[in-house]
Each structure stands twice: as structure tokens, then as C-alpha cells.
Chain A
């Protein structure tokens, strides 16, 4: 058992991490110039002395930074002390910690160390990061700052008594991940190419030159009609493969675990990440599925938590969706009576607005393109169809939880326990007031569930029920 009440230091290897970070802070250009000097015969003694001095300075600074950086748990507070010249001490009450993520990037994996990212609801970003920590220390810190913070925790931090065994809710196989990757939008895979853009002169331009050299006289007219569809298929296959790689890298061995109070997501091939949050802090469960995912029966799930540390789960089957919902105290959508509908007035509103925009756009474009300006009206039927479909498929319900579902092309559901609401808002535009309608919004600490185009009496009744639920339910909401 690791005693976190005693000051803990990062692994001594953190000195290397700190040194690398300091080097990185110099910037790419400066580092490239330095490397060029070193490689291309910088034999001048004075220059070498400067290099040795700089490296020595970085080393001393890194060692001192490592030595002065400690963290410990004292009286229910996580205390981090750091700084060489000016010593800073950060104290965070364990009860305020929203989530603790353990990440293991490539360099961490090579050294068997991890990075702990701790978040409270006090800021939009993660509160602070403890880098290069031994895995057992990080696991213990994660356990004591999240399990101990749970509302029903009976854990003795010293002995671990009362700790419940963690169980795996589900774990994705490589086959499942492949299906999940191939059924989601492939464009996210292009993110893997982003680093290449920084090296366009080194990689992309030579490729372009090679292509020009192979077919110097090629022009669009001389190429066959099949080129466009072939290129489209090739691009689609290429980005799909990239997306497959991205999903394997980020979500390999994706697993959701839970014990009495916490939920933990782990995944990653080269970089392992482990995100933990207390169950009470889960505010909204959102599921999304595109037509392909619907065909293969998969959902993308998003557990929105108060503060940072949202948990995203791709490629979940119906059973896994239901299990995740049950974890958050919610009902599986299939078992919810989503039987309430909204008024169709929104169709007229959206089409009218689109017509106004199109008319103005067409009038402006008329001077330049003549009758082609009529194309500005092309989106009108699309808007009509999308809104009609939205109104026709939108369903909601209100019981111990508020839930919505819709299905235009992709489908999505949102669920939250009523007592998670932090504020309830009723809004009425001029259009809605004329038709006796209103929009109701239930805002939680991590997302808002909105139901539009309700009769005003119904919206006000929903507001009263929501407020009654929030004000009478004594369960922990965060």
C-alpha cells in the first residue's frame, strides 16, 4: 500500500521529461539551427562551450524542478508543492476533484511511467498535471481521489478497507473496433495527416514533383471520365484506412470499468489513457448513430461529466448502451416511453426563415449571375424535409429522468436524471408567442437538454415538474 500522506516525488526519469520539455520550449527552428551547427562541423571551442553550458543549465534546472516537486494527500486535500526560486503550493480538496485521468504516451510507455491529469470544476481546462509518475502511485492517487470522493464511499484510505472490486462493464475486441471505425465518418482519420502539413516542403512537394515528372503533359480533358469516381473511391478508402488506424491507436482495448462509486475508461495502443470519474458526476448521457451504425447496431456514447473528463465510448452495442445507462442511473432508451411530441410549427418557421435568406441572397446575386440566382432557393426543400423529419421523429419524456430522441439522417438520444438540473429555462420568441408555444431547457452542469415548440401550458408544467424534482430529490447530483 502506497502511503500518499507522505510527500511523493515524480520518478527520477521525470528529469528527462522536464529536460525534453525545456528543449521543446526552445522551438523547432532554434532546435533545427542547433542541430545543424552540431552536425555541420561546429568545432569552434567557444561554441561547444556554449552548448555544454546550455545543456548543463537545462540539466540543473530539470534536476532542481524534479527535486522541488512533491505531491501528497493531507487531511482530505491534495497538496502539490513546486518551484525552485518561487515555491508554489496548490491545494485542492479531494471532494472537489471531478475526474482523474491517467495517460501513458509513447515516451511514458517506454519508461513505464504515466501522466496524471486532475480536473476540478473550477476552470475550463484541466486543473493540473503530474507528469512521469510510477503507475502504482498514479493508480493509488486516482483511487483515493475519486473513490474516496464518492458520496457513498466507505473507504479507509490507509488500509483500503471497504474498497469494492472493479468490474468490467464491457471491453471492445479489435473486430468491434474495426467495425466501429468503418461505420463512422472517415474524415477524422485525416487528423493523422496533420503533422505532415508542417513538413510539406520535405514530403508533399517532392511527391507533387514526382507526379508531374511521371505525367508531364497530363491535363483534365485528356483523362477518362472514370477518373473522378475512381479518385473518390481511392480517397474514401484511403481516409477509411487512416480512420481505422486512428481508432486503433486511440481506442485499442477500449474498456469501461466500474466499482461502487466510480466509472473508468481505459484505451490506447501506443498511448494508454485511463479516465476516472465518480458516477454521481455524470450529468447527461448522449448517444449518436449514423445510418451505417444503425445497420450494424452500434452507438457512440458520450457521458458528460461536471468539469473535464467526459467519457466517450465508440462502437457500443445495445446491451452496452443499456449497461452504461444503468451505470448512470438511467433507463435504457428502449424501455423509456418516449411518447411526447412537439408542435409542427417549427417547419413553417424554418422554411420561412430560409425563404427570406434565399430571397435576399437571390436578389443580391441577380445582378451578377442572372437566373442562376434562383439556385439560392435550392436549400429550401432540403430545410423543409430536414425540419419535417425532425418534427416527425422528435420524441421526449419526463419522469424521474428527462429524455429526448430524434432521427433525421443520423439519430441521437439525450438523457439526464431530473435532479441533475441546475437551472430550468422557458424561452419564447415572437414567433412562439404568437402561436402560444415555448421552448424548455433543462441545464445541467455538463450540458443542456432542450425541447422546443411546446404549448406554453405544457412547457410551464414541465418546468414545474422539473423544479419539483430538483428541489425534493436529496440524491447527490455531483
Chain B
């Protein structure tokens, strides 16, 4: 028997607030990972520019284009550093929130009851740095919290999965879900 639905007036001032000072920042190694990735990109661009300049005998245009790209990468590095300092998450009893954005500040909250799936992803750089990205999916928007330590990411994933009463990648049996199956014997 389901509980009867009521719709009593609520006092807005009494509602729990999503307080800005209770957000948790991401691991500082996340900035390092981002900068290493960009630095690698800059080295590749510089190397290609050097090869082209050597082959063509004209150093001016490869230097201008390569320099432009490297300058762009530097600007991106600054933005990434500022962005990383803004990225923060907050877990409450009933929802998970992510704050991010430098020019445009965004705070997104997904209630646990609307979460469809939660997983932890680790790219090459993240594995090297011991970091992970928590990916939370709903039927509407998805939220990805990067720059978490592996331990934190796994803890948060388990907490979210438990509170949302959903499966994670770890405990989903093979073949379950909406996918093509091999023919039955």
C-alpha cells in the first residue's frame, strides 16, 4: 500500500539550503594532469612546426601558426587552472551537486532518486596520477565530477548507488539490460 500523497504548504525559509561553503574541491593533482596533457599537446605542435619549417625551408609561417597554437594552449592552461579551482562537489542526504565554470558559474544538482547509473572512469593520465572521474547519469542531464582520488570516487560511487538504489558497473551481471543477446540454446 503506497503512502497517501499530501500537498501541505511549505515554508521556503525552512528548507535546507545548498550552502556554497560546503562544497568539496577536487584533488590538486587534477590541475597537474590537465597541465601535463596540454604541455604534451604544445610539445607535439612545436615538433610538427619544426619539422614543417625544416622541410619547407621557410620558418616564418610554421612559427606563426605553431606559436599561435601554443599561445592558445597556454590560454587554455590558464582557463583550466582557474576552472579546476572552481570544480567542487557536495553530497547531501538526498542529492549530489557539482559546481564548476569560470566565466559562467554553474551549480547542478541531481537528486539521488533520479539517478539512473553511476560509474567511475579513469583515463591514462588519471591512472598515472591516481585520480578518477565520477560519472552520474540521470534520464535528463548527466554530471561528471573529475579529479577525485580513486578511493574517494569509489566511496562516493558506492554511497550514491546505495542511496539511489541502483546498480553500478561492478555489480551488473553480464547480459542484463537492454542489449542484443546470443540466441537461446
* Residues of chain A with a CB closer than 8 A to B38's CB: none
| B107 nearest CB neighbor, chain A only | A426
A352 within 8 Å of B (CB atoms): no
CB atoms of B2 and A474 under 8 A apart: yes
Total of A-B residue pairs, C-beta within 8 Å = 108
CB atoms of A464 and B183 under 8 A apart: no
| A473 nearest CB neighbor, chain B only | B5
B99 to chain A, nearest CB (A): 9
A124 within 8 Å of B (CB atoms): no
Binds A, one of B21-29, B44-52, B55-63, B134-142: B134-142
Binds B, one of A89-97, A269-277, A342-350: A89-97
* Residues of chain B with a CB closer than 8 A to A120's CB: 178
* Bound CA–CA A248/B140 (angstroms): 35
CB atoms of B101 and A427 under 8 A apart: yes
CB atoms of A423 and B105 under 8 A apart: no
B171 within 8 Å of A (CB atoms): no
CB atoms of A470 and B113 under 8 A apart: yes
A121 within 8 Å of B (CB atoms): yes
* Bound CA–CA A443/B111 (angstroms): 12
A468 to chain B, nearest CB (A): 5
9 CB-based A-B contacts, threshold 8 Å: A81-B183, A83-B183, A422-B138, A422-B140, A430-B103, A465-B15, A467-B18, A467-B94, A474-B5
**Which residues of A (120-143) have their CB < 8 Å from a CB of B?**
120-122, 127
Q: Please report A residues at the B interface, Cβ cutoff 8 Å.
A: 81, 83, 87-93, 96, 120-122, 127, 306, 400, 421-430, 433, 443-445, 448, 460-461, 463-465, 467-468, 470-471, 473-475, 477-478
Among the listed A96, A122, A461, which residue makes an inter-chain contact with B12, where contact means beta carbons less than 8 Å apart? A461
CB atoms of B104 and A121 under 8 A apart: no
* Residues of chain B with a CB closer than 8 A to A87's CB: 183
Among the listed A422, A429, A443, A460, which residue makes an inter-chain contact with B104, where contact means beta carbons less than 8 Å apart? A429
Interface size class of B (residues with CB under 8 A): 35 or more
* Bound CA–CA A127/B105 (angstroms): 37
* Residues of chain A with a CB closer than 8 A to B112's CB: 471
Given A89-B183, A421-B140, A471-B95, list of 18 further CB < 8 A pairs? A83-B183, A91-B178, A121-B139, A421-B111, A421-B114, A422-B139, A423-B110, A423-B111, A423-B140, A423-B141, A424-B109, A425-B108, A425-B109, A425-B141, A427-B105, A467-B109, A474-B5, A478-B139
CB atoms of B18 and A444 under 8 A apart: no
Which of B17, B139, B141 has the most chain A CB atoms inside 10 A of its CB? B139
* Residues of chain B with a CB closer than 8 A to A400's CB: 7
CB atoms of A445 and B140 under 8 A apart: yes
